[in-house]
A and B are shown apart, each in its own frame.
Chain A
Amino acid sequence: MELCSFLTLDSFIRDPLTHDFMRKALLMSSLVAAVCGLLSSYLTLKGWALMGDAVSHSVMPGVVVAYALGLPFSLGAFIFGVGSVALIGFIKQKSRVKEDTVIGLVFTGFFALGIVLVSKIKSNIDLHSILFGSPLGISLSDVKQTIFISLLVVILLSIFRKDLMLYCFDPRHAKTVGINVFFLHYLLLTCLSLAAVVGLQSVGIILVVAMLITPGATAYLLTDKFDNMTIISVLSAIISSLIGIYVSFWFDLETGGSIVLAQTFIFLFAFLFAPRYGIFKLKKLFADYK
């Protein structure tokens, strides 16, 4: 098949693989997408989209401080990610300000702190790569950390898969039968912070929330089974990452943006054509009733 006069499908796929940085980018982004996609199912069902947004932005100062102190950036991100949620809970409880407002003001505050810190701390932190991701320029130590964190999150989510499903579905029942809901809440939050950290390498801090929401939302339109939802979510995330990276390579586009756009297009496709919940199907359903 010929894509353009100079490009066949074969070379479209193969040529980028001759570059070491592209192989690494494709592998790491797929891994990151899988982790975020897995978590995405839980966040979508729990209604934590805004929380995902908050945490992913709030890890910014943590990443900067950790870089400056020479600590693993995951540690800094984790402390600030969980810290932001604790702060949101505290302000909500102690004031009459509504929750969505509190979330908005806390995470923008953290984010601003991060930006100010970057400008103040003289180091080799590249603000652009934090904001927009740099999957093509990922370093070896970042690779190790990403693999470690990804494995950790996947293992945690696998062990507590059913408990987390119950927690998202009916936390009161979980509490009633003696399951530690407090632990599950913070487990999900911890995984969210960690996933945000690995996700920001791929698509950057601004767009990482898309990695945490869109695949789950797409899968939600396509199935009525929880297990299938996680599988579809992970697959759609991985496919989006591959498409995004290839497209950005050939057409010289921003990689993070391309990955997220690919996710958005897959979502729109599901939104239109999902066999049960797509709008065309629903339209037909209503037409049949008339």
Chain B
Amino acid sequence: MESINYQNFRIDAENICVDYNGKVALYDANLRLKPGQICGLVGMNGAGKTTFFNALTGFVNISKGKIRINGESLRSAQKDQTIAYVPQNEGIDSQFPISVWDVVMMGRYGSMNIFRCARESDVQAVKDAIERVDLIDQLSTPIGNLSGGQRKRTFLARAIAQRASILLLDEPFSGVDIRTEKLISELFIQFKNEGKTILLSTHDMIHVREFCDLVLLINKTVVAYGETSEVFTPENITTTFGGISPDFLFGPES
């Protein structure tokens, strides 16, 4: 039997199970992603998408299975700043008294000393990241005064400043304006060319077809996983969404 070289995979989640006080949220889920791959995570509300992200960031402990990041443990991936998480707009306190600059600087915290003093290189990384998301004129704006799209871009900038090779994005396109959507699309292409690995959850079929090389359909466990063209079929989608047809979910054109 051919032995698997785990270092080939950026993300290798094997049979992971997560339960919250005995209530199963995700079971026997598998995922393998290589550098430069973009994978869509699709499922109903409560199907375990956020739980999957929580497991991959180490925010919840998995009760069974194994997660390897670049062939190493999750803990060493955290130490190396390998994974960046971009939350949903609803997932953050928008009234928190903090500026765009300070949020993006948080992307550098993991590589700073204990006082989190910014070095010259950190300041440059933050500046570059904010430039890439086109928010340079909003540096000191409190996040509460930003639009949904600008807020999304702020958190993308944090992930860029972190220089993570794996990006986990929870609903990156929800609640954003056209300009932000276009900017995120362009960033995805750049990230792919830079060899970053992206896992994004979305409710939008068109985005899956447009950006994702791979798609992971989940409903508490993996319903189907593979190349988008092969896996993203009406039958699989119907199974994922508990028997509801894709026409009903996304309109007849899709």
Chain A residues in contact with chain B, CB under 8 A? 45, 93, 159, 162-163, 165-166, 168-179, 220, 223-226, 228-229
Nearest chain-A residue to B83 (Cβ)?
Answer: A176
Chain B residues near A178 (CB, 8 Å)?
75, 78-81, 110
Does the CB pair B115–A162 fall under 8 Å? yes
Does the CB pair B93–A159 fall under 8 Å? no
Which of B96-104, B125-133, B195-203 is the interface stretch?
B96-104
- Determine the distance from Cα of A179 to Cα of B145 in the docked complex, in whole angstroms: 28
Nearest chain-B residue to A162 (Cβ)?
Answer: B116
- Determine the distance from Cα of A93 to Cα of B23 in the docked complex, in whole angstroms: 12
Does the CB pair B58–A175 fall under 8 Å? yes
Contact of B92 among A170, A174, A224 (CB under 8 A): A170
B100: shortest Cβ distance to chain A, in Å? 12
B96: shortest Cβ distance to chain A, in Å? 5
Does the CB pair B84–A226 fall under 8 Å? no
A282: shortest Cβ distance to chain B, in Å? 14
Does the CB pair B99–A179 fall under 8 Å? no
Chain A residues near B116 (CB, 8 Å)?
162-163
A44: shortest Cβ distance to chain B, in Å? 10
Does the CB pair A176–B96 fall under 8 Å? no
Chain B residues near A176 (CB, 8 Å)?
57-59, 78, 83-85
Contacts A176-B83, A176-B84, A177-B162: A163 and B109 contacting too (C-beta < 8 A)?
yes
Contact of B93 among A166, A169, A172, A224 (CB under 8 A): A169
Does the CB pair B109–A220 fall under 8 Å? no
Does the CB pair A223–B87 fall under 8 Å? no
- Interface residue tally on B, bucketed by range: 20 to 34
Residues of B contacting A: mostly: mixed
Does the CB pair A177–B81 fall under 8 Å? yes
Nearest chain-A residue to B54 (Cβ)?
Answer: A172
B249: shortest Cβ distance to chain A, in Å? 29
- Determine the distance from Cα of A170 to Cα of B79 in the docked complex, in whole angstroms: 17
Interface residue B21 (Cβ < 8 Å from any Cβ of A): yes
Interface residue B158 (Cβ < 8 Å from any Cβ of A): yes
- Determine the distance from Cα of A163 to Cα of B115 in the docked complex, in whole angstroms: 8
A99: shortest Cβ distance to chain B, in Å? 13
Does the CB pair B115–A159 fall under 8 Å? yes
Interface residue B25 (Cβ < 8 Å from any Cβ of A): no
Does the CB pair A225–B92 fall under 8 Å? no
Apart from A172-B54, A225-B97, what 5 extra A-B contacts exist at CB < 8 Å? Answer: A163-B109, A170-B87, A175-B57, A225-B98, A229-B97
- Determine the distance from Cα of A225 to Cα of B99 in the docked complex, in whole angstroms: 7
Q: List 25 A-B contacts (CB under 8 A).
A: A45-B96, A166-B106, A166-B109, A168-B96, A169-B93, A169-B106, A170-B87, A172-B54, A173-B85, A173-B87, A173-B106, A175-B58, A176-B78, A177-B81, A177-B107, A177-B110, A178-B81, A179-B109, A220-B97, A224-B99, A224-B144, A225-B98, A226-B97, A226-B98, A226-B102
B110: shortest Cβ distance to chain A, in Å? 3
Contact of A173 among B99, B144, B158 (CB under 8 A): B158
Does the CB pair B110–A172 fall under 8 Å? no
- Determine the distance from Cα of A229 to Cα of B95 in the docked complex, in whole angstroms: 13
Nearest chain-B residue to A96 (Cβ)?
Answer: B21
Q: 4 closest Cβ contacts across the A-B interface?
A: A177-B110, A224-B142, A178-B78, A162-B116
Interface residue B4 (Cβ < 8 Å from any Cβ of A): no
- Determine the distance from Cα of A168 to Cα of B54 in the docked complex, in whole angstroms: 18
Does the CB pair B59–A175 fall under 8 Å? yes
Contacts A175-B57, A176-B59: A162 and B142 contacting too (C-beta < 8 A)?
no
